[in-house]
Structure 1
Amino acid sequence: MEKQETISPIQTVLLFLAGMTGSSIVLIPGPLTGAARNGAWLSLLFAFLVGMILLACILYLHHCYPGLSLIEYSRQAIGSGLSLLFAVPFILTLFWQESAIVMEIGDFFKSTMMKNTPTSFINAMFFITIGLTARAGIEVMARMFVVLLFIMFGFIFVVWVLVAPYYHFEYVLPIMPDGIKPILHGAYISLGFPYVEIVIYSMLLPSTRPQASQKLGKYMFGALAINGVTLIISILVSIMVFGPVAGDLKYSLYQLARLIFIEEIIERIESVIGISLIAGSFMKASIVLFILAKAMSQVFRITNYRLLILPIALIALLLSVTMYSNGAAFNEDGYTVWPLTDSLVYALPTLLIVIVTLLKKTKTGRHPT
């Protein structure tokens, strides 16, 4: 029998914050500004509010089904057959997501710092690292990611401060030069990534120590607020520095770091910033791999999820180097198809389970545990 791993509510929240902010801080500001222009921060705010609703849903289900994950309590709520119907696309989407995170890491290194290194080699090194990290378990990840999380947020704050001389507040206006349509387009993009993904972190909640989980909900809403504020400020900083061309820059925070130059004392720090941002993607990739292994072990009723991690990592590695022939095809899927897929695979089943649970509670007068 596999030993049950448990972590504190604070550690659960830090893992949630690492997953939500990890790769989105690198990837979201550029494409979102490209879609919504000066109103990109409004788009993210709309998506953030929907994310709050989804977080409330998974916390409600965690309260109704203590100690159970999304895969496990879906069987109780909607039956094994329908639960399996939702679990299969859930797992397949997690495979795509895991591969996509590492593909973006490889593309980042290839286009910025390691231009002569084959992407397949970069991806392989990352999958070995995240595979070993996820296999170490949630307790090890929770302790390890505390340091990485503070480093990542610390360097993000440093960039905001050191590029302050380049701020042009007039670039933020007008907020909606082309009306509401681009804002809604941006909201669609940021809803699919990262806010609908909130659902997958429900797989982490059963590992929280039940005797200390009374304030878990408050902490998680606080972490989501930190995520939203960080992304909004990063978008606004990018717009205030780069103006109309902000939407054309793929890794805007990295590009901001390249501008930092203080009296020949502080300069060329973009590599350090790049490594700290990649640490965020590393954390998210490790967490998603852990969640994927957990989900598959529960669907196929395998007692030890660690047996699945390395085979899953190998499959995801092969997907990461074969799914797309170029970055344009990947970006088209990532910012057009992915938000819809996320909504159908993650959000829709969760909302259905919430509705069924509420109906059962209304009928019986108690939670269907």
Structure 2
Amino acid sequence: MNGKEEINMRQFLLFLFLFVIGTSILLSPSTLAYVAKESAWLSVVGAIIIGSVFILFFLLISIWYPEQNIVDLNRLLFGKWVGTVFSLLFILFALVSAATVLWTIGNFMITQMLHETPQPFTHMLFMFVVIYGVYLGIETIARVSELFFPYVALLLLVIFLFSIPSIDLNYIKPFFNTGTQEIAKSAWFDLSVSTFPLVVLFMVYPKLVQDKKKVARKVTLAYILGMLTILAATFITTSVLGVAYTSHHLYPTYVLAKTLNIEGLIQRVEVIIAVSWILTIFFKLSLYFYAAVTALSQVLKMKSYRSLTFPLGVFVIALSLIVYPSSIYATEWNQTTWIYYSATFGVLYPLLIAIATFIRKMLKRY
């Protein structure tokens, strides 16, 4: 693995923000409205509170091991053989996650924009860009995030601001009427999409990040801003389109953009807005893929990960074509299996690291 790559804290914060909103801004409003009904926005508030605690826990682990990534930690805490097994499971998680994200963007394109285009072609076209970006390195991807972030933020701001006049609070009344169990379940789903997968960023932070000053405040703020974006998307889609329509449409934020007609001058704004979502998904997919490629190169003790980018990229394309047989299956899998699969690596695995660290420190004392 090439250990000379480095990014600055600002670039990592952009990674964090873009990763959090990634697919969440497209998928979360629908599922949250389906489970929590009128309290969908409230479940995001709960997810922000709980997620901030997880972020601080992730930061605590990075403070304990400032020069190690996931593979280094596995070898250090669990030994050569068990650590290698954990690393391989982490790589599998990153690859499966990358395949699901690739399927999402492919399905979005063929159902909403490129109706006559074969889905495998959209997968290949999008993934080859990701492969090339990861081949160039994390520094290149970081510079691209700096270049495109203002456009992403501006386009999202446009859709939110121009949707405000169409908000009807009657769509989300009565307030606080949904049961606590439904709100908690939908909050857990939101965390499984936006927060728990952040564990893959341990392949980037803290080992490759410079200037780690006032980290807790900066990282937590970037995370909260990302979650507030999801909150805004959820609140606006449910209050403009209605809970029933939002819950029955796979991509309600795109439908929301289609309803915009800015002062009668700008129409078909949804295509422009879709660019911002495509960019956020690109960065989320790139970080998943980068984590898998670099982790595997470390396990295999290769000098550089770049020779793995193309074969693993082809594997992700093939996996993306079979991971979800249909959109109905994808929705069901995301609401059931994915929640526990994501929590295994985003909750149980960090806890295991903390327990192993505590045991290791106790053994050193004696």
- The TM-score range, normalised by the shorter chain, is over 0.9
In the TM superposition, residue 104 of structure 1 has moved relative to its aligned partner by 0.5
Partner residue, 1:69: 69
Partner residue, 1:20: 20
Partner residue, 2:148: 148
Equivalents in 2 of 1:358, 1:174: separation in Å? 47
Partner residue, 1:102: 102
Partner residue, 1:195: 195
Partner residue, 2:132: 132
Equivalents in 1 of 2:238, 2:330: separation in Å? 25
Aligned-residue RMSD, C-alpha: 1.9
AA at the equivalent of 1:19: F
Could you tell me the percent identity over the aligned residues?
Answer: 25
Equivalents in 2 of 1:2, 1:295: separation in Å? 11
Partner residue, 2:29: 29
Alpha-carbon deviations, 1:106-139, whole Å to 9, x = none? 1111111100000000000011111001111111
Equivalents in 2 of 1:12, 1:111: separation in Å? 33
Alpha-carbon deviations, 1:307-361, whole Å to 9, x = none? 1111111001001112332211122112210110111233212111112223434
TM-score normalised to structure 2 length: 0.94
Moved runs in structure 1, 4+ residues, more than 4 A? 362-365
Equivalents in 1 of 2:220, 2:362: separation in Å? 27
In the TM superposition, residue 20 of structure 1 has moved relative to its aligned partner by 1.5
In the TM superposition, residue 64 of structure 1 has moved relative to its aligned partner by 1.5
Partner residue, 2:40: 40
Equivalents in 2 of 1:81, 1:202: separation in Å? 21
Structure 2, unmatched stretches of 5+, are none
SS in 2 for 1:261: coil
Partner residue, 1:219: 218
AA at the equivalent of 1:314: V
Equivalents in 2 of 1:232, 1:120: separation in Å? 32
Question: Counterparts of 1:220-239 in structure 2 under 5 Å?
Answer: 220-239=219-238
In the TM superposition, residue 46 of structure 1 has moved relative to its aligned partner by 2.6
Structure 1, unmatched stretches of 5+, are none
Of 220-229 and 259-268, deviating more is 259-268
Equivalents in 2 of 1:49, 1:82: separation in Å? 34
Equivalents in 2 of 1:15, 1:323: separation in Å? 25
AA at the equivalent of 1:230: T
Equivalents in 1 of 2:22, 2:118: separation in Å? 24
Equivalents in 2 of 1:263, 1:329: separation in Å? 40
AA at the equivalent of 1:108: F
- Preserved contact between residue 15 and residue 142 of structure 2 (Cα < 8 Å): yes
Alpha-carbon deviations, 1:263-292, whole Å to 9, x = none? 431211111111221111111111111111
- Preserved contact between residue 22 and residue 284 of structure 2 (Cα < 8 Å): yes
- Preserved contact between residue 90 and residue 346 of structure 1 (Cα < 8 Å): no
Partner residue, 1:172: 172
- Preserved contact between residue 18 and residue 283 of structure 1 (Cα < 8 Å): yes
